[in-house]
Amino acid sequence: MNEELDLEAWRLLVSTALTMHARRRLGGQGIPGDGTCEHLLHLARDLGEGIEWVTKLHHVRFEPAYPGLTVGPQVVLGGRRLLLACSVFAEGANPIGVAFTSLITGRRPQVSVAPPAVSIPDTWVLPAWHERRASGN
């Protein structure tokens, strides 16, 4: 098989699994059109819960932990969006790609996994709730 094609297929499988996970965590519903920035952050925090099935099924790990880094909520075209990103690695150390999770008011969550050459902007940081989870608070 073609190694590049296999890697692309793996990225598609992981992005589909993460999108399914995000939609299940929201009860199959889209994000309310009147959702606030705080609401988007709350939804993002919940995305990290129960992610183990994705890591086990697809033999991957996330750095930092899924859903990852963000620049924070943004107001766009009268709505709000929150973009998050984390690197995806095979169980060894081989990079698979970068998972970008998009939460936009009035839409269903979407996740795509870009090739490993794509980088997460240096200005993106861990949300405050992510740091509290890591410290056990």
What number of H helices and E strands is found in the chain? 4, 6
pLDDT of residue 56: 94
Summarize pLDDT for 57-104 with one digit per residue, the tens: 999 999 999 999 999 888 888 789 999 999 999 987 799 999 999 999
Mean pLDDT of the chain: 87
pLDDT of residue 10: 92
pLDDT of residue 70: 94
pLDDT of residue 129: 67
Summarize pLDDT for 93-129 with one digit per residue, the tens: 799 999 999 999 889 999 999 999 999 999 999 988 6
Higher local confidence (pLDDT), 27 or 39: 39
Tell me the β-bridge partners of 83: 102
CA gyration radius, the chain = 15
CA dist 105 and 81 (Å) reads: 6
Higher local confidence (pLDDT), 56 or 3: 56
The pair phi, psi for residue 98, each rounded to 5°, is -125, 120
45-51 mean pLDDT:
91
